[in-house]
Structure 1
Amino acid sequence: MARASSSILTFLRQNPHARQKPDTQIRHLSVETKDCSDLTQVAQQICHVIRTKPRWENTLSSEYPSSNFSDPLFIREVVKQQSNVFLSVRFFLWLGTREGFSPDPISCNAVFGALVEGNACSAAKSFIKHTGFSPEPVLLESYARCLWEAGRVKEASSVFKRLKEAGVCPGIGTWNAALSGCIKARRTDMVWKLYQEMMEYGVAADVETVECLVRGYCDDNEVLKGYGLLSQVLGDGVVPGKAVFDRLISELCKEKEYDKVSELLHAMIEVKCAPDNYTYLGVINWLCKNEKLAEGFRIFNDLKDRGYAPDFVMYTTMIHGLCTMGSIGEARKLWFEMIDKGFCPNEYTYNTMIHGFNQSGELEQAWILCKEMGGKGFRPPK
């Protein structure tokens, strides 16, 4: 995804903070594992005992007298084989009650890693506090990602800081989790700060990074910047997910930037990220609300011509718009078309049509619908 990074750098070139830090020392992480196959069988047996016996703490030592429960590799193998992370913690706490047991880094990292993998952020935090150990960097990065995803921005920032102070460069997945977590927490100020740091570390942005930045622009009410960034990366062949297009289209509608909305709809089709009923419904709804009924009706008919099947909500939205603008004849056609497609009018749809008939002076038609509405159990308008 080098092209994504190139596009973003070009787009944000005017940002004075978006510069590389040439002398930053970066250390990327890798996970080192050791073979514990010689301990696996016994570890599996002990895990079975822990899962099936309510008070296994009272008998485990006597059942396995030859096992060295203080061996870090043995402890790690038990944690690895145990399918329940909290049973692993219970096993570790039991070890703490044994005379002469002293928690070692290997064992602590094994339990801590299981907690992080299980997204048990609070338990992982308590485990660090209880044992006083320092997780190895690869687990600390996973812990930071877990905190970001849980929306615990302040704690995640603290862990992130520890990583960077240790000279560790988090992977792109962790940076994206940080950006996304800040957006969920409505901390777009941190989004731009983190992205600046990400570029300083020389981490190449990917499509998920682009999605986060576009969402950040929308949240900051800078939708045109989001549109500019998306247009630029699309030109480089980077295609974000449909949710980003939908969000940007919705925000552009609010700004009445309908030309750009049209461009994005065509772009979605070109990059094979086709807009669906949800996408078009939002556009039609905004057009109808802002007295651009003809454009909304054109899009609605184009959808049908291209094989889309409007749903009940889209029919109701279009009927309401037509009635509001006094086009009762077109509204009546859609009313019967909707029924022919198997959609039954609800109370809102009836009220919309009745109001439209009243406004256009067709009182007899309004009265017919009132009686029909009452016969279906709906309360007619007063």
Structure 2
Amino acid sequence: MRLCRVALRVSEGYELLRQVLVNGLVPENAVFNKLISGFCKEKQYTRVSELLHTMIAKNRVPDNYTYQEVINWLCKKGKGLEGLRVFNDLKDRGYAPDIAMYTTMIHGLCTMGWLGEARKLWFEMIEKGFHPNEYTYNTMIHGFCKIDNFEEAKILYKEMCNKGHKETTVSYNTMMTGLCLHGRTDEAYRLFQEMHQKGIVRDLITYNTIIQGFCKEGKIVESMNLFRELLAQGLQPSTYSYTPLIQKLCQVGAVQEAKGLWNDMKNIGLEPIVGTHDYIIIGLCDQGDAAEGMEWFIEMLNSKLKPKQETLGRLVECLTQRDRLDDSLLVLEFMFRTGYALEKGVCHSLVNKLCWEDNHFVETCLGEILEGK
């Protein structure tokens, strides 16, 4: 019986499995594996655990593929200790993890920065006769790059090439991501240029990595040039292509250019991340444009988005300076309802401005706001 071939949602497949078990039938491992994989994607670990216990109870011993799915999911959820416990438990019970399972576990440990444990498994894997493949190498290289150990990363990279694994887009992206993570974008850009010289394809991740790296270092001209090159190559930009550019443009006072990128992003069907609104509001406030800053704030509320505390504080300050006191109080009320606090300096400035207007008005408005808090 092959339930996994039936086009059912995971929950429906699970209910069907329960009915089959009640009728005394036990499907093959592939059925359980399909459901376990589905529940892992839906982050329903309770169901995954239940299915594993059911398999064992029904003498359907979980295979390496089954456990690989579980370990992979645990690592993605940040439950590395639990994933490692399951992995070690498998070995204690006589299972022989294959290269795929070792790679999955090493990847999970490297992602969480546990390079010590990852290296132990690396050498254990080699001792058992498994030769690291390109993916395993890149996983360890990425792990060393994350902790700023580029010497070890380069040694592994050279070893990977000497073992006959070709330099690929993935391997270059791995090194460039690590370099940019630690502010070594110029080195990453040299690799970026080297890719072209060697005829290695530069994909969207390649461009996004360097664009983000340059933006972090304030090199907006270089970032924009790369963005234009990305478009010229026929690549479809992602949200992560636009976001760092919008942030940096707003920081350097080029808000109109940032808004242009925002519109381009929306026009091709991309949804900006929440923080992008904050960048634009702060950029507008830096230019003294309180009116449009308020419009973006209202748009966020209408879209059920929550601005950051820093954004709202900056907006209150700008509105106050522009004598838009009613709007200042509106934003202040939202801040208090959200649990945010206003900096003393901004608060004093607002109170002083209000006091120039009408003492009774000040007392009434602030009283209502504080009561609502």
Structure 1 residues 170 and 124: CA distance shift in structure 2, 3 A:
farther
Are the structure 2 counterparts of residues 165 and 365 from structure 1 closer, same or farther at C-alpha, using a change threshold of 3 Å?
A: farther
Say if 2:312 and 2:331, in contact at 8 Å, map to a contact too.
Answer: no
TM-score under structure 1 length normalisation? 0.58
Q: 1:85 is matched by which residue type in structure 2?
A: F
For residues 1-382 of structure 1, the aligned pairs below 5 Å read 84-87=86-89, 112-113=102-103, 115-116=105-106, 118-119=108-109, 121-127=115-121, 129=123, 136=131, 138=133, 140-149=134-143, 151-152=146-147, 153-234=150-231, 237-275=234-272, 277-288=274-285, 290=286, 292-294=287-289, 296-298=290-292, 300-301=294-295, 304=298, 308=303, 311=306, 313=308, 316-323=313-320, 325=321, 327-328=322-323, 330-333=324-327, 335-336=329-330, 343=337, 347-348=341-342, 352=346, 355-359=349-353, 361-362=356-357, 364-365=359-360, 368=363, 372=367, 376=371
Higher helix proportion (structure 1 or 2): 2
Answer yes or no: is the 8 Å Cα contact 1:169–1:201 preserved in 2.
no
What is the aligned-residue RMSD (CA, Å)? 4.4
Task: Name the larger-Rg structure.
Answer: 1
Aligned residue pair count? 286
Distance (whole Å) between structure 2 residues aligned to residue 338 and residue 374 of structure 1: 8
Preserved contact between residue 339 and residue 345 of structure 1 (Cα < 8 Å): no
Distance, in Å, in 2 between the alignment partners of 1:345 and 1:113 is 44
SS in structure 2 at match of 1:186? coil
Shift of 1:373: 7.5
Q: Percent identity?
A: 15
Preserved contact between residue 88 and residue 111 of structure 1 (Cα < 8 Å):
no
Cross-structure match for 2:39: none
Which whole-Å CA distance do the structure 2 matches of 1:81 and 1:275 have between them? Answer: 37
CA distance in 1, matches of 2:319, 2:369: 24
Deviation per CA, 1:169-188, whole angstroms, max 9, x where unpaired? 14433332322222223332
Q: 1:235 to 1:252 in 2, by over 3 A?
A: same
SS of the equivalent of 2:352 reads helix
Matched to 1:144, the amino acid is: N
- The structure-2 alpha-carbon separation of the partners of 1:78 and 1:362, relative to structure 1 and needing over 3 Å to count, comes to closer
Q: Is the 8 A contact 2:141 2:157 kept in 1?
A: no
> Which amino acid letter does the alignment assign opposite residue 348 of structure 1?
L
Gaps of 5+ in 2: 1-28, 30-51, 54-61, 69-85
User: SS at the partner of 2:246?
Assistant: helix
CA contact (8 A) 1:208 1:240 kept: no
User: How many Å separate the matches in 2 of 1:341 and 1:126?
Assistant: 50
Please give the alpha-carbon distance, in whole angstroms, between the structure 2 residues aligned to 1:85 and 1:273: 39
What is the CA distance between 1:371 and its match in structure 2? 6.7
Q: Flag structure 1 segments of 5+ consecutive residues without an equivalent.
A: 1-39, 41-50, 53-76, 96-106
Q: Is the 8 A contact 1:116 1:143 kept in 2?
A: no
Amino acid at match of 2:342: Y
